[in-house]
Amino acid sequence: MDKNNIIGFLLIAVVLIGFSWYNQPSAEEQRAAFVQDSIAQSKKSLSENATRIAQQQRQQAARQKVLEDTTSLFHNALTGNVRRIVLKNKRVELTFSTKGATVEKAIIKGYVGHNIKVKNGAADQKNVTLFDETNQSLSYIFSTKEANINTADLYFEPSNITDSTITFTAKAGEGQTLTMKYLLGSDYLLRMQMSVQGMAGLFAPSMQTIDVDWKDKVRQQERGFSFENRYATLTYHKTEGGTDYLNEGKEVIDEAIKDKTDWVAFKNQFFSAVMISGSGFQENALMTSIPQSKASGYLKEYQAKLKTSFDPTGKQASEFEFYYGPNDFRLLQKMEKESHFGKDLQLQRLVYLGWPLFRIINRWFTLYVFDFLTGMNINMGIVLILITLLLKLLTYPMVKKSYMSSAKMRVLKPKLDEATKQFDKPEDQMQKQQAMMAEYAKYGVSPLSGCLPTLIQAPIWIAMFNFVPNAIQLRGESFLWINDLSTYDPVWEWSHNIWLIGDHLSLTCILFCVANVLYTVMTMRQQKDQMVGQQADQMKMMQWMMFLMPVMFFFMFNDYSAGLNFYYFVSLFFSAAIMWTLRKTTNDKKLLALLEKRYQENKANPKKQSGLAARLQAIQEIQKKQQEELHRKQEELNKKKRGL
C-alpha cells in the first residue's frame, strides 16, 4: 500500500466521521427519543403484562370451567364443611376427610416416632406418623360423556360411622350417587368398595376404567438419612409374579410400567403405605420417584398414575385394600392371608433380603433363627451375638479344614524351600511352580483346599448385610452404649457434612474397622509362614491393599446401622478367637509326622494316591513329558542348523 492509498483512506474516514457527527441528534432530540423509547418500552411491558394477566385469567376461567364441569353433576357436593373422622384399632389410627373421602393421615401405633430435628431423642413421639394431609393425596377420576369427575373436589356425607367402618356418599342428583365404603380390620389392613348408582347413562359405553392419582412426599422416619434413603423405594408387584422398584438413587419421572400390577407401595426403610387393587392396575401405569435433599425432612417424592376397572352400572364395585404398617416379613405374610382378593401378592417382598442366593439363605435360615431367638424375649444385641455364634458353629468344620490346609503348607515350607532353591532365576518360575506342586502332591496336600471354605462363608456375610438393615425388630432397641441398633451410634457429631464421612463418627463402625485391621494382621502372619520364594515377595506387595480395605470399610459403613457394624465386629472377634485356638492346639511336629507317613504310603503304593493330589501329580507328569519333548525337538532343530 503506497502513500496515496493511505491518504485516500484517511480522507474517507474523516468524511464519514464528520457526516455522522453532523447528523447526530441534539441533546433535546436525544431526550425526546429517550422519552419515546421509555414510553414504547412501558407500553410493551404493559402489553406483555396485560397479555400475561389475560392468559392467567383465561387459564383460571378454564380451570373454573373444568371444575364446574367436573362437579356439574355433583352441584350439591361442590361446597360443604370439612369434617375429619377417625377409624382406629390397637395398631393404627386413620383420619379421613369428608372432602375427597380418603385417608389424609395415618398413624402407626407401637413404634417410636423419631423427631429427627432433635438429636438426643428427647422429643420423640410414642407413635409413627406415616403421612398427613400436607404431604399425601389420593384422588379417583371418572370420565363421563361431557366432563371428568374428580373425587378430590367433592364433599361427601359420612354415615355408618363406627371405630372400624364409615360410608361416604356424594350426591349428583335424584337417585345418582357415588359411594365409598371403608372397613378397618383388626390390624393394618383397610378395605374399600367404590360404586356409583343411577349414573350408567352418563358414561360412554366404552368407559370401563377409572384413573387413580396417588402422591406422597415420604417423611424421613430414622436419624440416618442416607442409610434410610437407600431402602426407600417405590415398589410394585406384577400380576404375573415378581416385584420391582424404581431406582432409589435417581430422579425418575413418569416411568411407564408395561406390566399389569396388583399393588403399589410407597416404601421407606421400615414402614410402607400400600394400595392394592382387586382387579389389578392396567398396563402403562406412570410412576415417579424424586429424591429429596437431606435437610428437607423428606426422603422421596412419589407419584403413581394408575388405571383400574370400573363398572358404570354399579352392579360391581371397584375394590381396594390399603396397608399402612411396618415392613415386617411375617406380618406381611399374614396380611396376604387376610386379603379378600385371593392373590399371591408377595407383600413380604417389601422386606428386601438380597439377590436370589442371599435371599434363600435369609428366607430359609436367618429368618427362622431370628424368629426363634426374638420369641425368647431377649435383648436384640444378645440376639445378634447368638446368631453370630450359631453361624460360626455351622461354618466351623469348613474353617477348620481351611486352617489345616494352611497349617500343612506351613509345616512343609522348609521342604518346599529345599525342593525349589535351584529355581531362583525369573525364567525358572514355571519349573519352580511345578516343583512346588509336585512336592504338595507327594504329601497329599492341596493348596486349593483352603480357598473353597472361605468362599462358602462369603455369602453368609453378604446375606447378613441384607438382612440386618431390614429387620424392624432392631428399630429402637438399645444395647450397651447403642441407643438404637437400626441406625448409627454417634460417638461424635457436628453440624456440617464432611466429604465421605458425613456429620458423625459411629463407634461400632470404628470398632469393626479396628477389628478388621487386627484380623488382617493375624491372617497375614499366618499366610507369611507358608509362602515360598516369589509368593512371599508378592505377599509383601499385597499388604498395603489388605490394610486399605478397613479404611474403605470405614467410609462405607460409618453411616450404616449400629446393628450391622456390631454383627461384623462380633463376627470378626469370633473368627479371630477360632483362628487363635486352632493355632494353639495344632502341633506342627505331629502334623509333619503325619504328612511324612502319608508320603511314605504314597511312595510305597502310588495307586493309593487319589483325589486332587493324584490329579496334580498326573498334570505334573504330563507337563514334564511335554517339557522333555519340547527340549528334544529344540535339540534336533539346533543340530540341523549346525549341519547347514
Query: pLDDT at position 146, please?
Result: 77
Q: What is the pLDDT of residues 23-62, one digit of tens each?
A: 455 545 545 554 455 555 555 445 545 555 555 555 455 4
Q: Which three cell numbers stand for residue 531?
A: 509362602
Judge if 345 and 321 occupy the same domain: yes
- Number of structural domains the chain divides into: 4
Neighbours of 197 (CB within 10 A): 14
Could you list the beta-strand ranges (E) of 450-507. 490-498, 502-506
Q: What whole-number distance in Å separates Cα of residue 619 and Cα of residue 625? A: 10
Q: What is the 3-state secondary structure (H, E, C) of 161-226?
A: CCCCEEEEEEEEECCEEEEEEEEECCCCEEEEEEEEECCHHHCCCCCCEEEEEEEEEEECCCCCHH
Evaluate whether residue 303 is within a structural domain.
yes
Pairwise CA distance, residues 286 & 87, whole Å: 31
| Residue 75 in grid coordinates | 352441584
Q: Are 401 and 300 members of one domain? A: no
User: Whole-model pTM?
Assistant: 0.79
357 lies in some domain: no
481 domain residue, yes or no:
yes
Q: What is the mean pLDDT of each run of 10 residues along the chain (644 residues)?
A: 47 47 50 51 51 53 48 74 96 97 96 82 84 96 86 95 96 88 97 93 86 96 91 96 94 96 97 97 97 93 97 94 97 94 95 93 94 93 95 89 84 80 71 76 71 72 92 94 92 85 91 90 74 59 74 89 95 92 90 85 64 58 70 76 65
User: What is the DSSP code string of 491-541?
Assistant: EEEEEEEETTTEEEEEHHHHHHHHHHHHHHHHHHHHHHTT--THHHHHHHH
What the block records as the C-alpha cell of 518 is 487386627
Same domain, 420 and 321: no
Q: Crossing angle of helices 562-585/534-557, nearest 10°?
A: 150
423, 296: one domain: no
Domain range for 629: 610-643
Inside any domain, residue 306: yes
| CA gap 493, 501 in Å, rounded | 11
Same domain, 464 and 591: yes
Q: Is 515 part of a structural domain of the chain?
A: yes
Residues 440 and 347 in one domain: no
Find out whether 485 and 479 touch, Cβ atoms under 8 Å. Answer: yes
On whether residue 594 sits in a domain, the answer given is: yes
Q: Maximum CA pair distance of the chain? A: 124
529 occurs within a structural domain: yes
Find the helix packing angle between 507-528 and 562-585, rounded to 10°: 30
Same domain assignment for residues 314 and 423: no
Q: In terms of domains, do 107 and 234 share one?
A: yes
- For residues 620 and 575, state if they share a domain: no
Partners of 245 in the β-ladder? 235
Residue 258 — φ and ψ, nearest 5°? -70, -30
Which among 303, 321, 352 is the end of a domain? 352
Residue 14 lies in a domain: no
Do 497 and 526 belong to one domain? Answer: yes
Same domain, 343 and 372: no
- pLDDT value of residue 179: 96
Tens of pLDDT, residues 281-301: 999 999 999 999 988 999 999
pLDDT score recorded for residue 616: 57
Q: Both 278 and 325 in a single domain?
A: yes
